[in-house]
Chains A and B, each alone.
Chain A
């Protein structure tokens, strides 16, 4: 018995791999659920119900999925070009802060511009803030070879401290009774609800629309071609005449802008102001989602809904059977690991004896 690489991955295995990965994930997680003293079957049932079992559950899941789609797209486009942007969390906060800076009620009233002009300006400011935040690391990478994983990761802490400073200083809401939170966004700039009496907002449509647009760009656009070529073989791309450094910069602007928009849409659709805990790690989860989706923009939508459903479902499960909500993080992490292993393993096969090798 030995392991051989397949000449071409088989269709059947490619479909079976994710299912096996999910089964493995549930198995591992059930050990932890049992350890916490809860009935495994009931816990999973509650988790599923809490995430996907009712209109309310779906509304919560989709609300949670909205920023995750955007940070997932941010990671997916950057990773495709081998620009490892770990800084979506910081870019999200920068976008949120920029959105409030343009659209917030400063001193009781904001910029007296018509919402039809102010809204695009707010979104553009958020996208720009995120984009500029990633521009530095991208230039350092393409010019000096500085590792962008380090720079983008560390920038997250700098941005968070900066946001903290702003929320306790110039942008603090005087009416918040001392809480460190920003001024509130103008009413006219807030996104409409998709369904009455739920929290799902039109930001979901934005996110899905951007996913489709990014998918089309990657498949049909020259920029998408450049991104795929530079990511797959930068030396060959440079030889052929692609401006590799410029492509890296364009990818950085795109990726940063998507993460910045995640922040703005979260503010405009859900929180209406910035706090330091408005993102429970959406930027980092975006990386997981992008990997789960194999960097495919449409896959990001599905992966984001999956992850959001687990997170929301785990919340309601933990209330009912007293399993810590951290189980959600375990499920998401294990599912990522097993998905990566499964997709890799699908490229190999186990051969028994000698005759099998001949048949292949």
Chain B
């Protein structure tokens, strides 16, 4: 072990039943180094860092931190030896101040008084040293996502972390916040800290890290220096084969399919979720909505899923005003792909065939006189499975519990259900509303979903794509609009947007609401 090696993994193996999540992974991390862990979903990245942080115990292998063996399965020991972790989903108490959150868990509960002054001094000092300024008295609830992430990093640093693990840190950030995070990382390594950076975004990995460790199927496939690597090489190594990402062909938009005029939607407690937005969707055209999560995307999606009613303004589908009843929207040929496939897209406990007819069970094709036409419904499900390449149903066929499908296959089922529409009719959907259709999918599945969506649009469907993934937006959209705080910018042709423009609009400055 060289003196500069701060962390060393020897032959880490972890099995869950018959699944080998980590297969004899050996890896080391140098002082002042950013090491990227790159891999698709299920490649074993999260398992590996969970073992490192003591959430899981490895079946085989050992870990050395600064030359000392790390006791397995003890997050406290990992913390004590200088390993800090920033989870993708923050672990902060919203109703407490920054200082409270940083102190939380550092003091024994039975201690009569807490040493706030000391902790505050340490927090401020650490913040200054690493250029992570945050007001110690601010309530977490009042902070932006980027600031919350800074608090998470500070929390680790105040506890003396020398090795920082960041799990998909950029997934929730705006482009500007990503820049700021990368600046922080540079400061950290300049001061001799080491960082493990988990991501599946190739650009970021190339920019921020010195070395890139690529996992696939639980195995460490390669460790490459970032210098000299390129996206194509990384993608191929990560997936194990070449992936051709489908691209959009420009075409002339057709007639208006759906239009929103001055549309306002209120939440149950009276807040404006959508604030007077205007939008037109044309046949054969893809309009993408960019924006940071929580700026009204859900309300917009639910509006066009037929779940939400307008408070004021006008919403028309093919010239008709539509009631807020999902069934009517399904009947009108709207293909709906919700953001959360597990919680909203399917009923996991029910078999695949029942989920395949879930949107249309009341129609005569699938039921008559209150009795489900099981044969027709099951035949329909078999067709979807075949046409949309839904895997994982070999053993039980259409009776497979939908919960047992992987995320990608579940999404293919939802996609098929939405795009095929009425069994027997060959009409494309009139409108596709896709909310984060490729969230959490691996590259192969992403390419498949994109291809299906593009094909449907080529056959004349209009499409609204809501996504936080700018790569996806630029790859698919004909026009892009940005949603910020319930307001929608004008939808301009993709070629007119630069990444910087979009970043500004996502953060709420710049191109404001062009009426």
- By the criterion CB–CB under 8 Å, are B347 and A229 in contact? yes
- By the criterion CB–CB under 8 Å, are B17 and A4 in contact? yes
- By the criterion CB–CB under 8 Å, are B348 and A229 in contact? no
Tell whether B74 is near chain A: CB-to-CB under 8 Å. no
Q: Using an 8 Å CB-CB cutoff, how does the interface string of A224-249 with B read, 1 for contact, 0 for none?
A: 01001100110111111110000000
Tell whether B343 is near chain A: CB-to-CB under 8 Å. yes
A212 to chain B, nearest CB (A): 16
Tell whether B362 is near chain A: CB-to-CB under 8 Å. yes
- By the criterion CB–CB under 8 Å, are A225 and B372 in contact? yes
Give the dominant DSSP class at A's interface: helix
| List of A residues within 8 angstroms of B346 by Cβ | 233, 236
User: Closest chain B residue to A237 by CB distance?
Assistant: B347
- By the criterion CB–CB under 8 Å, are B15 and A357 in contact? yes
Interface centre among B327, B344, B367 (most CB of A within 10 A): B344
- By the criterion CB–CB under 8 Å, are B343 and A222 in contact? no
User: Closest chain A residue to B15 by CB distance?
Assistant: A357
User: Closest chain B residue to A222 by CB distance?
Assistant: B367
Residue among B305, B349, B372 making CB contact with A233, cutoff 8 Å: B349
- By the criterion CB–CB under 8 Å, are B15 and A232 in contact? no
Tell whether A223 is near chain B: CB-to-CB under 8 Å. yes
Q: Using an 8 Å CB-CB cutoff, how does the interface string of A303-321 with B read, 1 for contact, 0 for none?
A: 0000000000000000000
**In the complex, what distance in Å separates the CA atom of A221 from the CA atom of B336?**
26
- By the criterion CB–CB under 8 Å, are B325 and A221 in contact? no
- By the criterion CB–CB under 8 Å, are A354 and B59 in contact? yes
B368 to chain A, nearest CB (A): 9
User: Closest chain A residue to B346 by CB distance?
Assistant: A236
Q: Using an 8 Å CB-CB cutoff, how does the interface string of B336-371 with A read, 1 for contact, 0 for none?
A: 101000011111111000100011011000010011
- By the criterion CB–CB under 8 Å, are A7 and B59 in contact? no
**In the complex, what distance in Å separates the CA atom of A213 from the CA atom of B349?**
23
User: Closest chain B residue to A239 by CB distance?
Assistant: B344
- CB < 8 Å A-B pair total: 76
Tell whether A280 is near chain B: CB-to-CB under 8 Å. no
Residue among B17, B345, B350 making CB contact with A228, cutoff 8 Å: B350
Tell whether A107 is near chain B: CB-to-CB under 8 Å. no
- Given A233-B347, A354-B59, A358-B15, the answer on whether A240 and B358 have CB atoms closer than 8 Å is yes
Instruction: List B residues 193-227 near A (Cβ within 8 Å).
Output: none
B487 to chain A, nearest CB (A): 26
- By the criterion CB–CB under 8 Å, are B362 and A222 in contact? yes
- By the criterion CB–CB under 8 Å, are B15 and A241 in contact? no
| List of B residues within 8 angstroms of A228 by Cβ | 347, 349-350
User: Closest chain A residue to B374 by CB distance?
Assistant: A220
Binding site for A on B (CB under 8 A): 15-18, 59-60, 305-307, 325-327, 329-330, 336, 338, 343-350, 354, 358-359, 361-362, 367, 370-372, 374
Please give 10 more A-B residue pairs, beta carbons under 8 A apart, in addition to A232-B347, A232-B348, A238-B307: A222-B361, A222-B372, A232-B349, A233-B349, A239-B307, A239-B326, A239-B336, A240-B359, A357-B17, A358-B18
In the complex, 25 of the A-B residue pairs with CB atoms within 8 angstroms, ordered by the A residue number, are: A4-B16, A7-B17, A7-B18, A221-B371, A222-B370, A223-B370, A225-B372, A228-B347, A232-B347, A233-B349, A235-B343, A236-B358, A237-B347, A237-B358, A239-B326, A239-B338, A239-B344, A239-B345, A241-B306, A241-B327, A241-B329, A241-B362, A354-B60, A357-B15, A357-B59
